[in-house]
Structure formats: structure tokens, C-alpha cells
Amino acid sequence: MVDPGLFGVYVHVPFCRTRCHYCDFVTYTGMEGLRRPYAAALLEEAATAAAALGPEPPLVTSVFVGGGTPTVLSPEDLARLLARLRELLPFADGAEVTVEANPETVEPAMAEGLAGAGVTRVSMGAQSFDDRVLAGLGRAHDAARVAAAVATLRAAGVPALNLDLIYGGPGEDAGSWSATLETALALGPEHLSAYALTIEPATKFGRLVATGRMAEPGEDDLADRYEAACSALAAAGYHHYEVSNWARATHASLHNLTYWRRGRYLGLGAGAHEFDGATRRWNVDGVPAYLAAVGEGRRPTAGEERLDGEQARFEALALRLRTVDGLDPGEARSLGVDPGGSQATELRLAGLIGPGPGLRLTGKGMFLHGEVVARLA
């Protein structure tokens, strides 16, 4: 089950000023001298990837420049990248163009550069509005800097903003999380994402937990925080359209929907993944290896896999159930799940799947998404 109407371009910028304590993304601190060559290499890789799509490439419905912190590149380099993509590929009317940013990198020149380059939304890592929690997470900014960055982006005319939040961080309690939600809402973002802190082994937190110097966030606390987010955001008029995402009308992220609906997407940059509807391929993680491959005129492929029927079925089931649209009865059956079968009925009785003939998770079901999918699969 692949959505043929969606075609995204993901561009990865693997640079950050400092590394947050929970982060296991492909990103590097330092490397200032490689940033401009990297931005130039992205243009080259984009040309190679576009040529491989043939004379009639699909219309681009979304671009997402993520990281890392894309806004450590100069506004000129980011504008050149977006302009080059528009030269190489046809864009759909109203295509969504998102750039991720961190608050400490948002100066007026950057905000104006993004707005002038046709960026339709900026997704900012706010994470918390409690300075103690931000320090505990190893973030490079305080809460006031987030509010200042929002004001700067608004003043420059960036049409829509997302704020990313994390719950379950060290030092956070129910009161601090409620205050974070309140402050985030007062800034009026069009979109909000809230993710539970996960402890990855190859991070500072992973090492602290492994050596008994830090406790993992408790499941009950995480469930309470999630519920608090669901209530506060619903009360403020945000639509809970995916497990971790809320939006005001028309502001759901088209790019993320492309992933959840198994649309196709190109992946450019070190560590980027792409999917052509059948095969997933991904690039090398390291910046020097990336630059060397692009310098030789080839895609810097590190690996690829073609999903077999069973893997594709499971993936479609898991991804589609993440969104509020879920699966209608015919779609559920095409993925081998009987929407009126005993498992679905039990999950309905437990309040994890909503009423109706199809499969749509409730708020409680969304929090337990992995469990629900395992039972249905």
C-alpha cells in the first residue's frame, strides 16, 4: 500500500553546534570547514538523483531539510539548495517546504533568508520551556531564546511554525510539563510535536542509564504526560492527527504524511534514507565519505533493501495506524487484518480502537501504538 500522489525530498544537514544528551541522530559538532563544501555537494547529489528519475519525474509535494541543525548553514547556502531543487524537479502547486531550526541559530538574517527562499514552514526544536529541563537535556538554548526565535520567524513572514517538545526529561514533573504546554500554546504555533524521551545506548543518557547513574523515564509518568498533552492541545483547538503530532486546520505536515502513507521520497545528504515505493536505500553517514563519493559523481549509497511482501504489509499496517485516518475496512483486509475479528474487537473493548467499521486508534491506543500493531499483525 503506497500513496502514489505524494513525492517528498528529504535533505539531511548533519551539523550541530553541540550534541544534546539524548541525541543519536547522524550529526557532528565542529566540522565548520566542511559545511560549505557539504552544501555544495548537496547540489551535486541533487542533480545526480534527479537525473536518475528520468525525463518525467514525479511532482514534488514536499521538501524537508532536516538534521542536525540545517540553520548552521548560511541562509545563502540554504536558499541555493532550495532554488536548485526547484530547477531540477517539478514542484506541485502549494508544495510544502520545511526547514528544521534550533532557536540559537535563528537570527533575523536567517529568518528573512528562509522566508525569501520560499520556505513554508520552520520546524523548531523547543523541547521544553523549563530552563532546568533544557539544561538537563543538554540543549544549547533557554526558554526565552525559543520565544525570541518564534518572534523573529514571524516578523520575517515565515508562514507556519512547528515546535518540537520532549516529555520525560530529567527534572521534569507534571507541573513543569503543563507549564511547557501552556507556554508553547501561547506562542500560537500552527503545529506541535511531542515525543517521549527515549534512551538510546550510544548517547550520554544511554551511558548514564547503563551505569546506573540515571533512571529511565517511567512508563506511568510518560502516559500521564501524553494524556496531559492530548487534553491541553485538544482544548486549544489542535487536531491530534498522528501519534505524536497535532496541528491547526490545514497545517498537518504533508512531508510526514508521505512517510506514514508510504509515499516515495528522495533522500539527499549524509545518512539520508529514500524510498521509491519498493526499495529503501540510504547514504553513508560520514561527511568525508559523503563528499568523496559525490566528488566522484555518484550517489553515496551505503546500503539498500527491498521489503518482501510480509515486511511491506507490516510496515503499511504500523504506519497507517499512526495517523487518525487509520484504515478503512477494505484497506485493513488488504493488509490481512479483519476489522471485525476477535483481536480488533478486544482492542475496541479495551478502548484502544475507536467505534466504527474501520481501524482507528483512540488517544489511548495511539500511546500504545506498538502494542496494538503487534496484536493486529
Residue 172 near residue 133 (C-beta atoms within 8 A): yes
Kindly state the number of chain residues that form the binding site for ligand SF4, as judged by CB under 6 A. Answer: 11
Residue 45 near residue 299 (C-beta atoms within 8 A): yes
Sign of the alpha-carbon dihedral angle for 241, 242, 246, 250: negative
Residue nearest to ligand SF4 (CB): 23
Kindly state whether residue 193 participates in binding ligand SF4, applying the rule CB under 6 A. no
Kindly state whether residue 23 participates in binding ligand SF4, applying the rule CB under 6 A. yes
Q: Minimum Å distance from CB 20 to ligand SF4?
A: 3
Transcribe 333-352 into DSSP letters.
Answer: HHTT--TTSHHHHHHHHTTS
Q: Name the 3-class secondary structure at 321.
A: coil
Q: Minimum Å distance from CB 15 to ligand SF4?
A: 8
Sole binder of ligand SF4 in the list 9, 11, 13, 20 (CB under 6 A) = 20
Q: C-alpha grid cell for residue 12?
A: 539531511
Sequence-separated (6 or more) residues with CB below 8 Å from residue 355: 348
Q: C-alpha grid cell for residue 57?
A: 519525474
Kindly state whether residue 287 participates in binding ligand SF4, applying the rule CB under 6 A. no
Alpha carbon of residue 245 to chain centroid: 10
In the shown chain, the binding pattern of residues 51 to 90 toward ligand SF4, with x for contact by CB under 6 A and - for none, equals ----------------xxx---------------------
Residue 320 near residue 326 (C-beta atoms within 8 A): yes
What is the DSSP secondary structure assignment for residue 296, as one 8-state letter?
T
Nearer to ligand SF4, 106 or 230 (CB): 106
Q: Minimum Å distance from CB 270 to ligand SF4?
A: 13
In the shown chain, the binding pattern of residues 85 to 104 toward ligand SF4, with x for contact by CB under 6 A and - for none, equals -----------------x--
Q: Minimum Å distance from CB 100 to ligand SF4?
A: 8
Binding range to ligand SF4, per CB under 6 A, among 21-29, 37-45, 165-173, 285-293: 21-29
Residue 300 near residue 322 (C-beta atoms within 8 A): no
Please report, as ranges, the residues that interact with ligand SF4 according to CB under 6 A. Answer: 16, 19-20, 23, 25, 27, 67-69, 102, 125
